[in-house]
Structure 1
Amino acid sequence: MVTRAAHIAASYFSHAAHHQISALGNGLINDTFLVTTAQESFVLQRINTQVFPDPAGMMENLIRLNQHLRQKSSSEVRLKIPQLIKTLNHHNYAVDPQKNVWRALEFIDNTVSKELISNLEEAKQLGFA
């Protein structure tokens, strides 16, 4: 899967040919990778279309969620949703020769992705979204 991710990374950045790719997280549904280039890092994710059969709709929801959160003040929301990165052809996602759908997202350094809510404050932050 890393080889496919390496190939698809070039759909997002011309300089992604010189990169390092590593698995990221414990994805049970999607395959997620951290792509690191000399200029930046980003998250590359293969979307499981068995679980998400409408990737275009899913991406539109992500865009709307980001727009909604940007309208809230930073004192209300301490949750940051990674920004979508468009392909070099200005698409919201890429499709590889095997028909796998891939998206790229901003990598937010020094953060954690919660798999479980552990306290009331975390639940409140999710409620603001």
Structure 2
Amino acid sequence: DRVVDAGFYFVNFLKNCDYKFTPLNKVLTYHYPCHLSRGMNQASLIEEFIKEKEEGFSELDEKERCCGFAGTYSIMHKHISNKLVQRKIENIIKSNSEVVITSCPGCIMQISGALNVMNNRNISVVHFISYLKNILGA
């Protein structure tokens, strides 16, 4: 209960502040990292924050489904990991998103790596904290 994700902390902090947010004005979605959705139960609050700020939010099918990174799992079980990320990419493409936001560096590496392999460079994958920096103009 005493440990929270940085994004979760900032969302709660910003609720009580009068900051001006400048939306990205792009179609974007949020991928739930396993550690936030299963371990810490904090992913939905971050997604709701993004939905409030962005008109172009697109719901991601199977948003809670693992992208296949899972630390060394992606190395030890590459075949399964590749199937998981392929399904994630299919859902991202189906969402018509230009930007995928997530709160896990591992997920960013896995998803952006798969997008690069598929030569789909029109979709960027960013950390939620980077997204916050952009909409706050920091």
TM-score bracket, normalised by the shorter chain, equals under 0.3
In the superposition, the TM-score normalised over structure 2's length comes to 0.25
Q: Per chain length, whose mean CA-contact separation is higher, i.e. which structure has more relative contact order (CA < 8 Å, sep 6+)?
A: 2
In terms of fraction of residues, the more helix-rich structure is 2
**Greater share of strand residues, 1 or 2?**
1
Q: Which protein is bigger by CA-based radius of gyration?
A: 1
